[in-house]
Structure formats: structure tokens, C-alpha cells
Structure 1
Amino acid sequence: MHFITQFSQAWVALLVTMALVLSPIAIADESRLKISVGGFYSTSDSGMDVTSPLTDKEFELDFETDLELVESEFLPFIEIAYWFNDQHGIYFDWKRLHRDATNKNITVPYEFEHPDPDIDETYSIQLGAEITTTFNVDIARIGYGYDFYTDDRWDLIFTAGLHVMWLELGFEGEIGACLDETCGIIDIDPDSVVFTDVTAPLPDLGLLAHYQFADSWSITGHAQYFYIKIDNIKGELIDLSGGIEYNFEGKFAADLSYKYYKVTADIDGDYTTTSIHYGFHGPMLTLSYEF
């Protein structure tokens, strides 16, 4: 119920923000709509801090190496932008980062606290256990773009907007629970631990650059940053890309770029902090059409 309530509040806030952005510039002479779809083939790096039952020391559990989540995969992307005139516009985009895998023979035992601070439980994964891991991140973004510099070659656009991030981290399989300070292990039922959360709308700032160096050819660049601090979650996102765009005759364009993306989140509990990170880098292809 807490997750559903936060979900509803987040989208209500996004819709209110869109209305506020639209109201000052609702009438324009040269409006245009641009739809972009594409994907990127990413090399991922993700993990979380856990405790070793052998040494009682913290270490980083690598989701790709230790839990066999796919390291390289294709991720979808969609963006819709509406420009009221040459300088003012709004945009919405969405990224889907979903993965799951089953490791039938855990080689690194570990213990971890439930990320939800309202659940005071410690779980244990033993050597040889079979564990299915799910790690899903969805990020939706809405914002305002201002084209503050334009000439025959350059377009520089300042962006300010909001993000909402949905997070799901799940472990299913041969999982034990620690009942006392010596961590005596018992089987749990159901044999799964799932943490889901959604952040409230979070502010972000960015800069888009477009440089046309020849007929139909341009260099593109993008940089964006936002910081998370909501309830028991804090962290940051860094989003960078650079590439080259070809504009076909008409309003159709293709952009091939290289993207770097990193999300970190610290989830504070009563006795410990669960640190989760996710990042990827790789080539991205975007096709766009302007109406």
C-alpha cells in the first residue's frame, strides 16, 4: 500500500508540474512535435553492499559476477518533445532497465538486511544455494527545455525537470533468516525477499548541445545530473552522451551516440545502510521524426 500511495503521489505531482510549465506558453505560432525511439546495447555494472558470514566484514556483491545477471543487453528508450516555438518546449522520456537470472550454485556466501527500514530482518545466502535475482529500474523524466543560444551552426538548450525512479530488487530460492546475534539460520516461507520503492519527483538539470558541421551532419552532446534525497533513500544519477546525427531529407533523423549512465542509492535502515549501484555504458541508436 505504501508503494501504491507513493506511485500515485509521484504521478499527480508530475501532471501538476506539466500544467504549470504549459500555462505561460500555451499559444505559439511555430509549434512542432518530435518523437524519438531507440535503444542502447549496454555493458552493465551493478551490485550492493553485503556482509560475509565467514569474516563478518562488509564487501560488495557483484550482480553480474556473483549472481550471473546479464552484463550486456539491449535496453529500450522513448522520448516525446513538444516545442511551442523556437525557444520553449517540454519533453517526456522513459528508460527501462530490467534483468533477472538464476545462479544454481552460489560460490560467495553473504548476509544482508532487508532494504525496507520497516522490516527488521537479516537474510543469509549459503554456499551452494540456488538463488534467482531480479533487479529492475524504471526512470521516467518530464521537463522544460529552453534554447538559449542559436546561430547557423550551434543550438544550446538548458533543461530542468523531474525524475521518478521505480526500483525492484528481489531474491528468491534457498534463503535463510538470522534470528539472533549468532545468526542461527532457519528457512523462511515464502522463500523470497522483494524490495520495491518509488521516489517522489526529483529535480534534475541538464544541457543539450547540437553543432552542425556539414549539410545534414551534426555533432550532439548531452549531460544531465540529479540528486536523490527522499525519505530513507539518497543517491545520485549521472547521464552523459555524445554522438553524431544525420538528418535525412524531410524531418527524419538518426543519431548514433555513446552513452554513460550511473545510478547510486543508499537506503537507510534502523541499524544499517543498504548501498545499491547500477551503471552502464555503450552505443545508442535513436531514430526521430518531427511533425
Structure 2
Amino acid sequence: MFKPLMSCLLLILPSLVWASADNSSEQAKVEPAKLPDQYTFNIGGFYANSDSYMVVTNPKNGGTFPLDFEDDLNLKEKQFLPFFEFTYSFNQRHNIYLDWKSLHRTAQSPSIEKDFQVTIDDTVYDVEAGISLRTTLDLDILRLGYGYDFIQGSNYIVGASIGLHTMFVKTAFEGNIGICVPNSELAKYCDEVISTPRVVDNSVTAPLPDIGLYGIYEFSPGWVFKAHAQYFALKYNKVKGSLIDVRAIVETKISDEWSLTAGFNYYEVDVDYEQTLSVLEQDVNIADYNINYSFTGPMISVQYTF
């Protein structure tokens, strides 16, 4: 938790320093003009350096190991991703926002180097080394939140936010994959397999909370620096997850309604969950899975406000 908190402080500190400086001047003592309600649409792209893996089971010894989607399954590490953001600002200090990020990747691996085993919908799937495997990993993140500007000046804003985010994850494997039917002695009967051409797992997380800080500073007419840091961590029953979102951008107006933005974003999602099967009215632990997605890179967008 220390890392994201430090990121928050480092990003918001400049805004607090600027706010303090302005407060010491006569100009900052004047209340900012009342702002009208605004709707803002922001559409852009994000050049991401992705790192994603899943901890899977070794079918030979029952141990677990990380299966890297980029190194082991040939998914692209660098890719241009779309994003969409909508913000409604009202009553001078209040903001409601909705944003969406998407990462869809598919790759063909001519020859898998490692045996691994995954469990989907109470069925165990064995993937043997040496086969050709087509892998799909699609991730969409939808977030809804509320922000409040608790400090306002003539050319700066500092606020706090709280929100909920939901992840839609699709994992697909296509190749000569074995199906292992669960039994009371699961490991013993896993050699009784039936080939299947495609295995698909569609997972949706429950809405999970995140909190954050943000700062806005107009350092020159028509030029604005914006930064935010959001963090979330939760452990509930068999699920544990975290999210870190740190962003710094510069926005420039090209007209009263249109703006261009450019900046840098660090975004990491980490979800752990325990896989179990129900066998003879008892839960059998298959493996503890970890799915990690990390996006780091520059971003650009076009923004429309009215």
C-alpha cells in the first residue's frame, strides 16, 4: 500500500504547493467565478507495455507456476489501446465520471514449451507441451465514480474521488486440449481425456471500490496540467484484488469546446482467486490463481466539452 500512497502524494503535491502559493497572494483570496454545469467526452488511445500472467497448475507434480501470456504464449507486449471517458460536472464542486479501457489480444504459439492445467466451469483442461496453441486474452475495464473538489482557486483545483470498477475478462485456448472430468481422486483420473478444439472462459468481477486524489492547475491561458492517482485493494472470501491508476497529462484548448491532451499513464490490475471443485459435497482445492495486467505508456486524446 505504501507505493500507491506515495504515488498519490507525489502527484497531488505540486497542486497543493501551487494552491498554497496562490492563497498567500491577494488574487487567490477572491472566490473563483461560479462555473456552469459541464459535460465532457474524452476519446483517445493509450500505447501500452503490457505484462500479464496467470498462475496455473503443473499436471505432473501438482505444483503451480506463472504462465506468462507474452513470453510463453506470444501475446503482444506493446499495443495501442482505446479508451473512453465521460464526466458530468455540476453544482460547482461535484463530478460524476464514467470510463472504459480495452485490451484485446490473440496470438498463435507454434509449440508450447510447458505443460499446464486450468479449471473452467468445474472442468479441468490439460495443455501439453509441444502442441500448437492459439490464445486469446481480452480485458475490458468499466469504471463509474464520483469526485468532489474540496479546494478551489482562481487557477487550480484539488479533489478526491470514490468509484466502482468492473472487469470483463475473456480467456480462450484453441488446440489439442484435453478435458479431465473431475472425480473423487482427481489427480489419478486426469489421464482420461477427450480432445476439444476450443476452451473459453468469460469472467466478470463484481463491482470493486477504488479511491483517489486529483489535481488541476492552469499554468498558462489555455494550458492545463492534470494529475490523478487512484487505488483499490480488497480481500473477500476467496478473492483478493488491487488496482493502481496514476496519470499525468497536459491539456491545451484549440477552441471553446475542443481540447487536445497528451500525457503518461501507469495502470495495474492484480486479481487473486482460489479455484475449487465440489467433489462428493466437499470443496477440493485445484490451485490459487493470480491474473495480473499492467499497462504503462503514453496517451493522447481529443476532448469535447459543452
Question: What TM-score, normalized to structure 1?
Answer: 0.81
Runs of 4+ in 1 over 4 A off after TM superposition: 53-56, 228-232
Q: Distance in 2 between matches of 1:229 and 1:54?
A: 31
Query: 1:63: how far off?
Result: 0.3
CA distances 1:30-79 after superposition (whole Å, capped 9, x unpaired): 21111111010111000111234566542211100110111111111111
Write out per-residue CA displacement over residues 193-248 of structure 1, whole angstroms, 9 at most, x where no aligned residue. 32222122221111221122222222221111123556643211111111222122
Match of 2:261 in 1: 255
Instruction: Report the CA distance between 1:166 and its aligned residue.
Output: 1.2
- Of 262, 265, 286, 2:301 maps to 286
Instruction: Give 1:93-104 correspondences, 5 Å limit.
Output: 93-104=99-110
**What is the Cα deviation at residue 94 of structure 1?**
1.0
Matched, 1:204 2:210: yes
Paired residues in the alignment total 260
Tell me which residue corresponds to 1:126. 128
CA distance 1:115–1:230, change in 2 (3 Å) = farther
Are positions 1:40 and 2:46 aligned together?
yes
Q: For residues 29 and 38 of structure 1, do their structure 2 counterparts lie closer, same or farther at Cα, with a shift above 3 Å needed?
A: closer
Conserved 8 A contact 1:212-1:219: yes
Question: Which residue, out of 109, 113, 116, partners 1:111?
Answer: 116
The aligned amino acid for 2:148 is: Y
| Contact 1:113 1:274 (C-alpha < 8 Å) held by counterparts | no
Partner of 1:136: 138
Of the structure 1 ranges 32-41 and 208-217, higher mean CA displacement relative to structure 2 is found in 208-217
AA of the residue aligned to 1:149: I
Q: Give the 3-state SS of the residue equivalent to 1:69 in structure 2.
A: coil
RMSD of Structure 2 on Structure 1 (CA): 2.3
The aligned residue for residue 23 of structure 1 is none
Change (3 A) 1:32 1:243: closer
Tell me how far 1:139 sits from its aligned partner.
1.1
Q: TM-score scaled to structure 2, two decimals?
A: 0.78
1:239 aligns with 2:245: yes
- Give percent identity, aligned residues only: 39
Shift of 1:279: 0.8
For the Cα contact (< 8 Å) 1:115–1:274, is it kept in 2? no
> 2:201, 2:238 → 1: CA distance?
13
Q: Supply the AA of the counterpart residue of 2:239.
A: I
The 2-side partners of 1:167 and 1:103 are apart by 21
* Counterpart residue identity of residue 296, structure 2: H
**Which moves more between the two structures, 38-47 or 125-134?**
125-134
In 2 relative to 1, CA 98–171 (structure 1 residues): closer, same or farther, beyond 3 Å?
same
Hey, what does 2:148 align to over in structure 1? 146
Structure 1 window deviating more from structure 2 (276-285 vs 264-273): it is 264-273
Letter in 2 for 1:223: A
Equivalent-residue separation in structure 2 for 1:283 and 1:253 (angstroms): 17
Q: Distance in 2 between matches of 1:278 and 1:188?
A: 32
Distance verdict in 2 for CA 1:29–1:219, change over 3 Å = closer
- Per-residue CA deviation, residues 121-166 of structure 1 (Å, 9 max, x unaligned), is 4332222211111111111111111111111232112111211211
